[in-house]
Amino acid sequence: MTVDRYIRVLAGFFVMLSLALGFEGSPIFVSPWFLAFTAFVGLNLFQSGFTGFCLPGKLLKKLGVPEGNGTCSR
């Protein structure tokens, strides 16, 4: 897998997990404040699309994950 694919998988995982932990109808509900983490992930994806800066992408590259051709691998 490339850096871009890891970023998409991690972002999707964090969004789904924070929704499950923040939605009151969920069997693993903890607090509605977990929905703020969903917004944080979305905001980071949004700014990365415009600026090309992606901290998790830089960290994954330093760990030796091969680069893709999207914004998170620059």
User: Residue 62 falls within a domain, yes or no?
Assistant: yes
Q: Quick one: CA dihedral 73, 63, 34, 19, positive or negative?
A: positive
User: Residue 15 falls within a domain, yes or no?
Assistant: yes
> Is residue 70 very low, low, confident or very high in pLDDT (cuts 50, 70, 90)?
low
pLDDT digits (tens, 9 = 90+) for 13-66: 999 999 999 999 999 999 999 999 999 999 999 999 999 999 999 999 999 999
- Does residue 71 register a pLDDT over 80? no
User: Residue 8 falls within a domain, yes or no?
Assistant: yes
User: Residue 19 falls within a domain, yes or no?
Assistant: yes
- At 46 the pLDDT is 95
Q: Which domain holds residue 56?
A: 3-69
User: Residue 74 falls within a domain, yes or no?
Assistant: no
Q: What is the DSSP letter of 23?
A: -
| Domain count along the chain | 1
- Does residue 73 register a pLDDT over 80? no
> Is residue 74 very low, low, confident or very high in pLDDT (cuts 50, 70, 90)?
low
Alpha-carbon gap, residue 70 to 51, rounded angstroms: 12
